[in-house]
Amino acid sequence: GVTSDKTSSSPTERCADTTYTNTYNFSGGSGVVLSDLVFTEQAELQQVYNGNLSVIFDSNDITGSVVVTNTTPGGTLELDFSGAGNDSMAGKTLTITYDLTATDNTQAACSSNTFYSWSSLNIGSSGSSCLGDGIIHETTEVNIGTPSMSVSVNGLGQIFHKCESKTITMTLTQTS
């Protein structure tokens, strides 16, 4: 069997990166082989892959062994593991981390959007009633929000005369 999870760094802002992490834990009796895997990120709402990728298999960085096919925006991010070796996945963990960027096409300026980000891992075999097609599907809710700030002004006190000058402190804080 396999347990899996997908998370994101959401909430993020338009034109900023959202980091996605997909984790797959294979049971000790798994018959899956690393080179049979194909991972697909759907990159919903015209998100763009910017080249930031990390693939960790059993505590080893195998990013360089994975063939990346990027058809974003509007398409998918696909990772082909056929060149990563014929290692058994039994008792192993695979973690795939990457950034996608929300663009002008993802949402309009000064607006927010909540959606589900879907990814799948084709394990190259099928058979169980829970995994009849051999594809593990994962999703996570993502919120792309509007940038926001707070402003505070200190040092004004009470103004006694219209020509009086005061030294003030204005603080701008990003709250998104």
Q: How confident is the model at residue 127 (pLDDT cuts 50, 70, 90)?
A: low
- Decide if 98 contacts 6 (C-beta within 8 A): no
Burial (CB < 10 A; 0-12, 13-18, 19+), residue 121, is buried
pLDDT (average), residues 34-62: 94
pLDDT in tens, 2-35: 899 999 998 887 778 999 999 999 988 888 899 9
What's the pTM?
0.81
- Decide if 36 contacts 24 (C-beta within 8 A): no
107 has pLDDT over 90:
no
Q: How confident is the model at residue 132 (pLDDT cuts 50, 70, 90)?
A: low
CB atoms within 10 A of CB 11: 14
3-state secondary structure of 35: helix
Q: How confident is the model at residue 133 (pLDDT cuts 50, 70, 90)?
A: low
CA-to-CA distance for 51 and 29, rounded, in angstroms? Answer: 34
